[in-house]
Chain A
Amino acid sequence: MASVTPSNPRIKVNRIGLDSKQYRGTKTTLCAGCGHNAISERIIGACYEMGVDPGRVVKLSGIGCSSKSPAYFLGSAHGFNAVHGRMPSVGTGALLANHKLIAIGVSGDGDTGAIGIGQFVHLMRRNLPIIYIIEDNGCYGLTKGQFSPTADLGSTLKTGVVNDLPPIDTCALAVELGATFVARSFSGDKKQLTAILKAALSHRGTAMLDVLSPCVTFNDHEGSTKSYSHVKEHDDPLEEISFVPFFEDISVDYEPGTTQAVPLHDGSTLYLKKLEEEYDALDKVRALQVLNETRRRGEFATGIIYVEPDRDDFLTMLNLVDEPLAALPQKRVRPPRGALKEIMKSLR
């Protein structure tokens, strides 16, 4: 554990004795004002507040602007910037090797919705315990602004080209595929995004977060439905989210009937404050309905759209020994002489 005793008592530290600076990464190389940088900040904040040990975190990504961002948070954690669209498989392997790791994957809308849609689909099916963040700007930034599969029908490129294909709604897809935690937020919504990230950190299973993150260079103009102005006007929060980690006193401020308590696997509780009276994040059919309705209105439903807290995650289903497989000594992974002898006898 990377715990440090701060020499300066005035520096505020979290429950594992780290100050927030120790959650930072290298300086960003993304454009100034890029929504992705705000997301990195929220990850830093959420991990700090939750007292996540960076030594246990693995940061994973594919290729693209979004996938560069793991370098910009939790600098003391291991990271793997893999190949385009294939981060889910690398993350799966890492967690198979060591099921005690906390995996934070960062992808983009192209990395997920186009080249990586196959691996995304199977990641959602498996319910691997990973936080999978799509930094969704509806375009390919690193190759200078081509449409991605989440670009909205009718949105335009700077060059005037109009997108005539319907978008993939990654949240609806994730719900359909069996993801057990599906949320959507906006890179500029500090409070909501932090709360969702903290809840995701406590969820045991795949937490899929689609974070709208306007591209300030290629996709922040009037014809884009993922520009700052568009998202701010069309953001439709589903609920007000309070997240109470298990290591703090649980707040009971919420009026019965307006809050919904969702117990998470680690003993902490997620409270969803309903803005819409009847919204129930445990209801899969309702989740899909809300996504459809808001999309029809040209709006984005934000908040935790769907949670299934009780389903076994992929690693639990594998019935692994308690220690990480990577740390098993020879005597536990090489069967004894008698075993080989028995096999040889069976082949005579």
Chain B
Amino acid sequence: MPVSDIAVQDAPAANLTERVVNDFSIRVATVNGSGSQTANLVLLRSIFRMGIPVSGKNLFPSNIAGLPTWFTIRASKDGYVARRATIDLLVAMNPETAREDVLSLEPDAVVVYDEPLKLDELRDDLTFYPVPFDKLVAGILRDAKLRRLVRNMIYDGVLANLLQIDRQQMDAALEKQLGSKPRAMALNRSALDVGYDYAAEHLEKRDPLVLEPMDKTDGLILVEGNAAAAVGAMMAGVTVVTWYPITPSSSLCETLIDYLQKYRLDPETGKATFAVVQAEDEIAALGMALGAGWAGARSMTSTSGPGVSLMGEFSGLGYYAEVPAVIFDIQRVGPSTGLPTRTAQGDVLTTAFLSHGDTRHLMLFPASVEECYGMAIEAFDLAERFQTPVFVMSDLDLGMNTWMSKAFEYPKKPLDRGKVLDRETLDRIGRFGRYRDVDGDGIPYRSIPGDDMPAFFCRGSGHNEWAQYSERPDDYKANVDRLARKFETARNWLPEPVVEINRKASIGIVAYGTTHWAIVESRDQLLAEADLQTSYYRVCAYPFRDALESFIERYDRVYVVEQNRDAQMLSLMKLDVRPELANRLRSVLHYSGDPIDARTVTDSILIQEGYRVEKAGAQTIRLPHTSGVGGE
């Protein structure tokens, strides 16, 4: 295998006369609670409205106000939306982090900063633009409290001038953000003007970064994954929502409540076709969702890792007593409280087997906001079809960050309420046995309290197919074997993987969820930098389809890329695929709390494939799954 460094050296330093158009990252460093979110979203939306593909990632602390926060906007003419590790333009507004923020930049980066911070003294290989924010804001406003809030909008004005952002689009983006508040609107618009005019008069353009209009965002929307999932849940006809606040999932239920109040009140009576309850904890939240699912509602809850842990016992009850419910897990960094405001894919193994005994759960893995919407709808159908809890495994990066997407399509399929007993079915099957496998697919029929069909006693203790209490070994075994059969039925019913087979490929890549976006970019990098052709299998659900084995069979080495330390998805695959195939699986792992970036993936694969030698001193943790540097 070739060992070459040439292909992977960074491109030569940008020639200042050469413009960098629509392909760079902006990082805004501010203080949490300073109102920077409005300014950042206006900036993001302005670029989006110029037709330039864009993504925004908020790196924020677990804090209400006072701690540092960073917002990264990536403009990418090629449509890459994964996090980019390199920052090209820094807006340094936070005195506490400014020094470190500047020192961590690559050479030739650009810095817009608050003049009194005197950051230009720190380095001589960067382009600095000082802006006297306090002086400028004082010119607009007397009220010191309000000054603090509109001060940030000034940097939007400065960047509009420096980067040639369409002012009309920026005004429109501002209107979108603050439209309903005319006074705030007026103040912020003057802040934009002040920033723009200051830059026009005092800052001489000395950097290559430019934004130019494109047509790549026509018809697209900008939305967070949690909001997308909320729209999906509403369109799925959710009727009972029970939840307990936890970052990063709270915004899912909060957005859902807003939408439900707008679109799900009976037009004639004004009464609600839904119930939302903020429970006393996650245990109660899932208990309520299961009680509601048992009684025939489309029920859901939303949580994150610590909540998932608390839901363990009830999840097992849902599995064994066969009660539908949808659980959104917006994953964050663990273990324990971990990093509550940082992203991870760390709940995969826990959730697959959540609870004691032989328990297995259905999981869906949305990678995009569009899939958050679609899989939310699908999850409710699956929960009722398979009469079991269904976990939608999103993460903080997807749930709380802003993503471009095609507009969501109206659902094509009617609601699937699954095998609910009715008179006709009862006549056909004769006697009703709640846990009887009438159709041979492991899925029994169920009756619902109040529906006038024969009742049954639902319980988490041992039961036979007539739902009678039983401790008989044969009853127990027959029941859990049927549950396994039901799981097998689900295997080919769940969303299909997205597979791209490249006939010239020498390796395979497997990923899921938000890791997808780094893979899209990394595959291009692998091709460009090392002429390494790849095929790609994106897991969309658990249990895995048989197609996973056929994919692994094609390649000697298959890289499973994920955002956790212990190669959780790979471990799950090893349990499922034939042993000789399991040996082909290798890991690319990213678990710092930042969303994964393409460079991490590319570098790791190139090293493991032997194209490149691992950097001296680089820390590597050897886990059983992590294969060493190959091909040397």
Contacts and interface: CB of A to CB of B under 8 A. Distances in A.
Interface of A: 1-2, 26, 54-56, 58, 60, 70-71, 76-83, 86, 88-98, 100-101, 118-119, 121-122, 318-322, 324-328, 330, 332-335, 337, 339-340, 343-344, 347-348
B455 interface: yes
A89 B287 contact: yes
A55 B266 CA distance: 27
A36 to B, nearest CB: 16
28 contacts: A58-B449, A78-B456, A79-B456, A80-B294, A81-B460, A82-B287, A82-B291, A83-B287, A83-B460, A89-B242, A89-B288, A91-B291, A93-B240, A93-B291, A93-B297, A94-B292, A96-B275, A98-B449, A119-B283, A324-B450, A326-B239, A327-B296, A328-B239, A330-B414, A332-B273, A334-B411, A335-B263, A348-B222
Interface in B445-461: 447-452, 455-461
Given A96-B292, A333-B264, A326 B297 contact: yes
Q: Closest 10 A-B residue pairs measured CB to CB? A: A93-B291, A89-B287, A326-B296, A333-B237, A97-B297, A97-B295, A93-B292, A90-B291, A93-B288, A347-B221
A123 to B, nearest CB: 9
A321 B288 contact: no
A105 B451 CA distance: 20
B273 A328 contact: yes
A333 B279 contact: no
Given A333-B298, A335-B264, A89 B279 contact: yes
Interface in B263-309: 263-264, 266, 269-275, 277, 279-281, 283-299
B294 A320 contact: no
A77 B454 CA distance: 8
A9 B269 CA distance: 46
Contacts of B259: 343
Given A78-B455, A348-B221, A90 B271 contact: no
A98 B285 CA distance: 17
Interface string B224-249: 00010001001111111010000000
A319 B271 CA distance: 6
A26 to B, nearest CB: 8
B614 interface: no
B266 A332 contact: yes
Given A82-B317, A93-B288, A121-B280, 17 more contacts: A54-B455, A89-B283, A90-B287, A92-B277, A93-B289, A93-B292, A93-B295, A96-B299, A101-B449, A122-B280, A320-B272, A321-B272, A325-B239, A333-B237, A333-B264, A333-B273, A344-B408
Contact of B299 (A1, A91, A97, A340): A97
Nearest to A86: B287
A325 B297 contact: yes
Nearest to A348: B221
Interface of B: 220-223, 227, 231, 234-240, 242, 259, 263-264, 266, 269-275, 277, 279-281, 283-299, 313-314, 317, 321, 407-408, 410-411, 414-415, 447-452, 455-461, 468-469
Contacts of A118: 280-281, 284
A57 to B, nearest CB: 8
A319 to B, nearest CB: 5
* Centre residue among A60, A98, A343 by max chain B CB count within 10 A: A343
Given A86-B314, A328-B239, A334 B415 contact: yes
A1 to B, nearest CB: 7
B620 to A, nearest CB: 42
A334 B281 CA distance: 29
Contacts of A343: 231, 259
B30 to A, nearest CB: 25
A209 B263 CA distance: 40
- Best-buried of B221, B231, B299, B457 by chain A (most CB within 10 Å): B457
B237 A326 contact: no
A76 to B, nearest CB: 6
Nearest to B298: A333
B222 A94 contact: no
Contact of A320 (B223, B237, B275): B275
Nearest to B218: A348
Contacts of B292: 93-94, 96-97, 326
A92 B227 CA distance: 26
Nearest to B279: A89
A122 B317 CA distance: 22
A97 B271 contact: no
B407 A344 contact: yes
A55 B451 CA distance: 8
Contacts of B223: 347
B3 to A, nearest CB: 48
A83 B272 contact: no
Nearest to A56: B450
A324 B277 contact: no
A266 to B, nearest CB: 18
Contacts of A121: 280
B104 to A, nearest CB: 34
Nearest to A68: B469
B288 A330 contact: no
Contact of A119 (B287, B293, B407, B461): B287
B274 A325 contact: yes
Nearest to B259: A343
A100 B283 CA distance: 25
A324 B274 CA distance: 10
B450 A321 contact: no
B314 A347 contact: no
Contact of A97 (B227, B240, B411): B240
Nearest to A324: B450
Contact of A94 (B266, B295, B452, B460): B295
B294 A94 contact: yes
Given A347-B222, A347-B223, A93 B290 contact: yes
B162 to A, nearest CB: 26
A93 B285 CA distance: 9
Contacts of B288: 89-90, 92-93, 96
Nearest to A339: B263
Given A83-B460, A332-B266, A319 B239 contact: no
A89 B296 contact: no
B169 to A, nearest CB: 12
B215 to A, nearest CB: 15
A178 B494 CA distance: 46
A126 to B, nearest CB: 8
B369 to A, nearest CB: 10
